[in-house]
Amino acid sequence: MAIVRTLPSADGDRRRLALDSPVDRTSIGELEVQNSTEVSAAVARARAAQPAWAARDIGERAEILRAAVGVIVRRRAEIAATVREETGKPEAEALGVEIVPACDFLNYWCGRARKDLRTHKQKLHGYLRPFKKLFIQYQPLGVVGVITPWNAPFVLSLNPVVQALLAGNTVVFKPSEVTPRGGEWVAKVLHEAGVPEDVVQVLRGDGETGAALVASEIDKVCFTGSVVTGRKIAAACAERLLPCTLELGGKDAMIVCADADLERAAAGAVYLSMFNTGQVCMSVERIYVVESVADEFIRLVTQKAAEITYGPGDTDMGPLFWDRQMDIVTRHVDDAKQKGAQVVVGGARGDGDGLYFQPTLVVDANHDMQLMTEETFGPIAAVMRVRDEDEAIRLANECKYGLSGSVFTKDAAKARGIAARLTTGSVVHNDAAVIYGVPEAPFGGRKDSGLGHVNGTDALRGFTHAQPVLIDRWQPKRESIWYPYSEKTIQSLDGLIRYGFGNRVLRRLLS
C-alpha cells in the first residue's frame, strides 16, 4: 500500500489514510490511524501482561514461539500475497526476502534462547576468587516498542519482536503505514502460535502513532528506518534515558579488486544493487572497480543489467514501493547525468501508472554526485573507476553512512585486510546484503547508519538487563576493609600492593 493519501476524518478524531497499489495505483484499502490515547492503552495492557509472560520458563516461551514457524509455513501463500499486494515485489522476493529468513530467524532464536538467557556463573579474577562468587542473570526490560519499515515489512518486524518476546518482554509494534498489513501478519502468526493477545500487539498508524509509542511508558525502543526519524527517536529517548536500538540508512560500497572473479562480481553488482527494487538498507549503492579490470567489468554489468525484466506480472523486478522514492531516484540519476556520468542502461521511469523505474547502470560516477553520496534506495548500479584498492578504500570511507560493505576478490585474506580498513558495520566477501540474514553476526551501523546491534550472540540479551549477583562464599562477620580501620588494615592493603601487584609472577596469578 505504497501510495498513501490522507482522507477526511469520519468522526473528527481518528485520521484515515487511503492506500493505493504501487503496481497500478488502484485502491487496495484504507487505514485508520490510532491516536495517543489508544497507544497508551495498548502499552498499559502490555505492562499488565508482562509479569506472567516473563514468569514462564524460557523453554516454554521458546516452544510457543517455535510453533510460529509451522504457522508461517502453512500460511506462507497468504503472507506472500499480502506483501505482494502492498509492495508489488515478485513472488521470488516475497518468499526469499520475507518468508525464508523469517522461518530461519524464528527457528534459530528459539534454539538459542535457553543458552543465551540462562543465569550463569562468571569466573572471578585474582584475589576476589577465594572470597566471592559471581552470577549473571538476565532480567527482561518490560515493554518494548518496535517500529519497522516498509521495504521488508514482515521479516523486519518479526525478527526484533521475536527476540524481545523470548527475552521475557511484551511488545507493542508499529509497522509502516506504507505496508501495514504485511507487518500485521507478525501479530497474527504469533497469536495463532499461542502468544497471548496482550503480550504482542500491533498498532496501525503513521509517524504520529510512532511518536506516541516512543513517548509512552515503554522500556526500550527498537527502530528501523530513516536517519531523520532515527535522530528524533534518539533525542526523545535521551530525554528519558531510555535505551534504543537504531538501524538506519546505508550507502553501501562494493569494491571490485583486480583479482576478482569478474563474472561473479558483475552478476553480484547487478543483483545486489537491484533486488527488492534496490530498496534494501544494505543494497550496493556505490561500486568502486580497479581501473585495470574496469572495462571488462562494465561490459559484463551492462550485459546483465540489460537482461533484467521489470514491470507487472512474472518479471525479475517490481515497482518502487513508495511514491516518494520515485522523486529521489529520478533526482539522483538526473543529477549524475548533469555532472558528467553516463547512463548505459535504463535511467528513466517505466511506462504506465505504476511506480516502475528501469533497471539502471550509471558509469563514470564520482563523489560530486548525489548518486554516490546520498542514499538512493532504487534499482541503480553506480560505477566509479579507481586507480587501485587503496583509493577504493579511501572513497568507500568518504561517506556519512557506514552500514555494510562488500569486497570482491579471489583472496580471502585480502578481503579481511580490506575489511579491517573500512569504517562500516559489517563487510561481506564476494556477496552483500546477506549479512542481516546471518543471525550469528552482530548487525549494526556506524556513523549515520545507526546505534547498537540486532542479531549476534548478544541479541537476546540486548532486550534484558544483565544483573550481576555477587555471592559471599564464607559469610564472615565482617570484611577486612570494614570499620574500624587499624594498623593491621593498612599493613594488609600495603602487603597486597607490594607483594601481589609488585611481583610479576603473582601479578599474573591475580589477573
The model's pLDDT over 195-217, given as tens digits with 9 standing for 90+, comes to 999 999 999 999 999 999 999 99
- Collapsing DSSP to helix, strand or coil, 315 comes out as coil
The amino acid at residue 155 is: V
When pLDDT is averaged across residues 81-100 and rounded to a whole number, the result is: 97
281, 375, 389, 399: the catalytic one is 281
User: E strands of 233-292, at which residues?
Assistant: 244-247, 252-256, 284-290
Instruction: Give the model's pLDDT for residue 258.
Output: 98
Q: From 341, 423, 348, 353, select the one nearest 378 (Cα to Cα).
A: 348
Who contacts 64 (Cβ-Cβ below 8 Å, separation ≥6)? 193, 194, 195
Give yes or no for residue 1 having a pLDDT over 70: no
Q: What cell was used for 134?
A: 559471581
Which of 6-15, 332-341, 342-351, 353-362 is least confident?
6-15
Q: Which amino acid is located at 440 in the chain?
A: E
Q: 252-442 in CATH: which number?
A: 3.40.309.10
Confidence of residue 460 (pLDDT cuts 50, 70, 90): very high
Residue 10 has pLDDT above 80, yes or no: no
Counting residues of the chain whose pLDDT is more than 90, the rounded percentage is: 91
| 407 contact partners, CB below 8 Å, separation of at least 6 | 254, 255, 257, 414, 415, 418, 419, 427, 428, 429, 430
Query: From CA 330, how far away is CA 328, in angstroms rounded?
Result: 6
Continuous segment of H or E residues that includes residue 30: strand 27-32
Q: For position 508, what pLDDT does the model report?
A: 86
**Mean pLDDT, rounded, of the chain:** 96
Q: What pLDDT is stored for residue 249 in this prediction? A: 93
Most confident range (mean pLDDT) of 109-118, 317-326, 502-511 is 109-118
| Nearest by Cα to 454 from 466, 471, 437, 432 | 437
Closest CA to 100 of 152, 61, 147: 152
As a whole number of angstroms, the distance between CA 205 and CA 185 comes to 15
Catalytic hit among 93, 177, 184, 247: 247
Confidence (pTM): 0.96
Which stretches of 311-425 are assigned E, i.e. beta strand? 342-345, 360-363, 380-386, 401-402, 404-408
Active-site annotation holds for 281: yes
Place of cell 521511469: 349
The arithmetic mean of pLDDT across residues 346-355, rounded, is: 93
Confidence class for position 107, pLDDT limits 50, 70, 90: very high
Mean pLDDT of 21-31: 94
Report the phi/psi class of residue 37: left, alpha or beta, with left for phi > 0 and alpha for psi in -120 to 50: alpha
Cβ pair 182, 148 in contact under 8 A: no
Judge whether residue 114 has pLDDT over 70.
yes
Q: What's the confidence (pLDDT) of residue 313?
A: 86
Confidence of residue 500 (pLDDT cuts 50, 70, 90): confident
CA 245 to chain centre: 9
Return the H-helix or E-strand segment holding 214.
helix 207-215
Owner of C-alpha cell 546477506: 434
Cell numbers given for 221:
525502543
Check residues 480 and 167 and name the one with the higher pLDDT: 167
Instruction: At 77, give phi and psi (nearest 5°).
Output: -65, -40
DSSP structure class, residue 357: B
| Cell 487496495 found at | 28
469 CB neighbour count, 10 Å cutoff? 11
What is the residue type of 494?
Answer: D
Task: Write the DSSP string, 155-205.
Answer: HHHHHHHHHHHHTT-EEEEE--TTSHHHHHHHHHHHHHHT--TTTEEE---
Which among 193, 180, 190 is positioned nearest to 159, based on CA atoms?
A: 190
Sheet with 404-408, strands from edge to edge, namely 342-345, 360-363, 380-386, 284-290, 252-256, 404-408, 426-429
Q: Judge contact between 29 and 159, C-beta under 8 A.
A: no
- Give me the mean pLDDT over the 135-145 stretch: 98
Position 437 confidence tier, pLDDT thresholds 50, 70, 90? very high
Of 15-19, 259-263, 480-484, 504-508, which range is least confident? 504-508
Return the minimum-mean-pLDDT range out of 369-378, 407-416, 502-511: 502-511
Mean per-residue pLDDT, 342-367: 96
Per-residue pLDDT band at 12 (split at 50, 70, 90): low
Residue range 286-310: mean pLDDT, rounded: 98
Q: Any idea how long the chain is?
A: 511
* Helix spans in 245-381 (H): 262-274, 291-306, 323-338
How far apart are alpha carbons 446 and 163 in whole angstroms? Answer: 22
Average pLDDT over residues 64-77: 98
Distance CA 146, CA 501 (A): 48
CA angle 66, 67, 68 (to 5 degrees): 85
Here the cell at position 163 is 527476540
CATH number belonging to domain 30-249+456-465: 3.40.605.10
